[in-house]
C-alpha cells in the first residue's frame, strides 16, 4: 500500500451529498466489502493483545518497540480496562473473560496515588462501566463503584467544580500547577456520562447530582455566543472565566460533546443540555467555521482574545461526528434548517479531517494543522506538532457519518487511514506513535490505551454492519468511545 495523496473526492469538500444513496445493491456491496475489511482490523487487535498478554498483562501500557511494560497511569491496568469493550465488540470473548478475571483478582485502587480525574474517569471508569453494560458481570460494577467513590472526592470544592488531580489513597485533590491552578473546561464537563450511569447502576444518586451540578454552573455562565473560554477560576465558590481562549481542540473539546450526549443519554428529555449545545453550535457557525485558501476547505478555528487563530487540532475532528449526531436528533427534525446546517458542516469538516491525513507522506494526520492564507497550500504541518499519537477523532467522525447517512465513502476513507496505520505505525509488538507524519520511518515506542479503546474500535465498527451498537437510539459513547445504553434502554 502507498498513500494515495490528497485533493481527491473534492465533490465532498463543501458538505454536499453528491451521489444517490438509495440503491440497495450499492449499500449491500459496501456492507460485504466492509465485512472483509473488519477482519483486518480484528487482526490488528489480536496482534496487540497477543503481545500485551505476554509482556505487559495488567500493566498500564505496553511499549510496542521495546516490549517493556510500564505503570504510568498509577498502576490500574489502564490498557486492559480501556480495551475490555473493544474485545467484547470484536468477538474476542475468551480474552475479555481473561481480562475480567484480572480485574476481579488483581485490580485494586488502594495503592494508587495522584491521578488525572478526567483521564481516569474516561478511560478506567468508562471502561469498567461499558464492560459491565455488555456483560452484566457485577465484578465490573463493583470495581467501578470503588473507583468512582474515590474520584468523586475531587468535587468537594467550594463551588462543586472538580479539581483536575486527585489522590485515590488520601482523597486530597488540587488543580494543575502547569495550568496556573485553573479549572480546565474539557475536564470539568466530561465526566457526567460516566457518573450518571454509575448512579443509576448503583442507586447512589450523589454521583449524578455532583457531576450534573457542573453543568448547572456552566449553564448559568454560558456567554451570549454560546462559546466557553477553556479556563475557569473558583473564587470562594463563585466560578468565573480565566482568559479568553476558545477551542474545540485540547482543553475545550469534549464539554461541548457532552452537552449533546448527556441529553441523548437521558432519553432526550433534559432540555437544558440540548439548548446549551444548540446555542454553542450557533456560535460555532457565526465565529469559528472558516474556509481555507485557495480551495475553500472548511475548518474550525480557535479564538484568542477575540482574534481567529487559523489552526485546527486533530482532536477537533470529533465535531464531524457530534454535529451529525446533533442533526439527526434535532428536536426540530432532520429536515429543519438548523439540522441541515449542522449536517452540512459535519460533512465538510470531516472531508477536511480526511485531507489532514491524505496530504501527508504517510497518509496520517499530525496533531494539528495550520491554515495560513496566502501560502498557496490549504494546510501546513507545523514544526511544533508534526507527530501522530494514534488519535481516533477522524475515524470517529467517519463512523458516525457512515452510520447515520449510509454513505460508503466514509468506509473508503477509513480504509485508507487504517492501511497507513498498518504500514507506518505497526511494530513487532504493537503499534507506535509517529514522530513525524512526513517521515515514514519515525515510529516511536509509545502506544496509548486509546488506540485500542477508540481508534481500533471505531474502525472496527465502521466496517461492522452487523453491530449491536446503535448511537441514534440505544447507546451513547463516552469521549473514550466506551458505549453504554441510554437510560430508556
Catalytic residues: 119, 253, 367, 393
Please give the Cα distance from 126 to 195 (Å, whole number): 9
C-alpha span between 391 and 385 (Å, rounded): 13
Task: Give exposure, 142-154, as e/b (b: 16+ Cβ within 10 Å).
Answer: ebbbbbbbbbbbb
Rounded Cα distance, 284 and 282, in Å: 5
The enclosing H or E element of 78 equals helix 78-89
Q: Which of 14, 16, 41 is nearest to 461 (CA)?
A: 41
Q: DSSP characters for 38-76?
A: HHHHHHHHHHHHHHHHHHTTTSSEE-TTT--EE-TTSSS
Residue pointed to by grid coordinates 485540547: 250
Contact 449, 465 (CB under 8 A): no
Residue 180 region, left (φ>0) first, then alpha (ψ -120 to 50), else beta? Answer: left
- C-alpha triplet 132, 111, 187: angle, nearest 5°: 60
Please report which residue ranges of 90-204 form alpha helices under DSSP H. Answer: 93-106, 117-120, 126-135, 138-151, 185-188, 192-202
Amino acid at each position: 500500500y502507498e498513500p494515495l495523496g490528497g485533493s481527491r473526492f473534492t465533490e465532498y469538500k463543501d458538505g454536499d451529498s453528491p451521489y444517490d444513496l438509495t440503491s440497495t445493491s450499492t449499500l449491500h456491496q459496501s456492507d460485504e466489502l466492509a465485512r472483509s475489511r473488519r477482519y483486518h482490523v480484528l487482526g490488528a487487535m489480536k496482534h496487540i493483545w497477543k503481545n500485551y498478554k505476554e509482556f505487559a498483562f495488567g500493566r498500564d501500557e505496553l511499549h510496542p518497540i521495546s516490549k517493556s511494560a510500564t505503570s504510568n497511569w498509577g498502576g490500574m491496568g489502564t490498557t486492559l480496562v480501556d480495551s475490555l469493550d473493544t474485545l467484547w465488540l470484536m468477538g474476542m470473548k475468551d480474552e475479555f473473560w481473561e481480562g475480567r478475571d484480572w480485574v476481579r483478582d488483581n485490580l485494586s485502587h488502594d495503592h494508587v496515588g495522584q491521578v488525572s480525574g478526567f483521564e481516569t474517569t474516561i478511560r478506567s471508569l468508562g471502561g469498567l462501566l461499558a464492560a459491565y453494560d455488555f456483560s452484566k458481570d457485577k465484578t465490573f460494577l463493583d470495581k467501578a463503584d470503588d473507583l468512582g467513590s474515590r474520584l468523586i472526592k475531587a468535587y468537594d470544592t467550594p463551588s462543586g467544580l472538580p479539581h483536575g488531580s486527585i489522590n485515590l489513597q488520601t482523597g486530597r485533590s488540587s488543580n494543575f500547577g502547569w495550568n496556573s491552578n485553573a479549572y480546565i473546561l474539557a475536564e470539568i464537563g466530561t465526566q457526567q456520562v460516566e457518573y450518571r450511569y454509575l448512579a443509576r447502576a448503583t442507586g447512589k444518586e450523589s454521583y449524578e447530582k455532583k457531576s450534573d451540578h457542573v453543568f448547572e454552573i456552566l449553564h448559568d455562565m454560558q456567554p451570549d455566543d454560546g462559546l466557553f473560554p477553556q479556563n475557569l477560576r473558583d473564587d470562594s465558590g463563585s466560578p468565573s472565566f480565566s482568559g479568553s481562549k476558545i477551542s474545540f481542540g485540547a482543553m475545550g473539546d469534549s464539554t461541548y460533546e457532552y452537552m449533546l450526549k448527556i441529553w441523548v443519554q437521558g432519553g432526550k428529555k433534559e432540555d437544558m443540555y440540548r439548548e446549551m449545545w444548540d446555542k454553542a453550535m450557533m456560535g460555532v457557525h457565526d465565529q469559528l467555521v472558516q474556509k481555507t485558501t485557495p480551495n475553500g476547505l472548511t475548518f474550525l478555528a480557535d479564538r484568542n482574545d477575540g482574534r481567529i487563530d487559523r489552526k485546527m487540532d486533530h482532536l477537533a475532528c470529533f465535531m464531524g461526528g457530534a454535529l451529525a449526531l446533533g442533526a439527526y436528533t434535532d428536536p426540530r427534525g432532520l429536515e429543519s434548517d438548523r439540522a441541515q446546517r449542522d449536517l452540512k458542516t459535519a460533512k465538510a469538516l470531516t472531508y477536511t479531517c480526511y485531507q489532514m491525513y491524505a496530504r501527508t507522506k504517510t497518509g496520517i494526520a499530525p496533531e494539528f494543522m495550520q491554515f495560513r492564507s496566502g501560502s498557496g497550500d490549504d494546510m501546513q504541518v507545523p514544526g511544533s506538532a508534526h507527530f501522530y499519537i494514534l488519535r481516533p477523532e477522524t475515524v470517529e467522525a467517519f463512523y458516525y457519518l457512515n452510520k447515520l447517512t449510509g454513505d460508503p465513502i466514509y468506509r473508503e476513507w477509513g480504509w485508507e487511514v487504517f492501511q497507513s496505520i498498518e504500514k507506518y505505525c505497526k511494530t513487532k509488538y504493537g503499534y507506535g506513535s509517529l514522530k513525524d507524519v512526513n517521515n515514514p520511518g519515525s515510529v516511536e515506542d509509545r502506544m496509548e490505551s486509546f488506540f485500542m479503546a477508540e481508534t481500533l474500535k471505531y474502525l472496527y465498527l465502521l466496517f461492522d454492519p452487523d453491530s449491536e451498537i446503535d448511537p441514534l437510539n440505544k447507546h451513547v459513547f463516552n469521549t473514550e468511545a466506551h458505549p453504554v445504553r441510554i437510560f430508556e434502554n
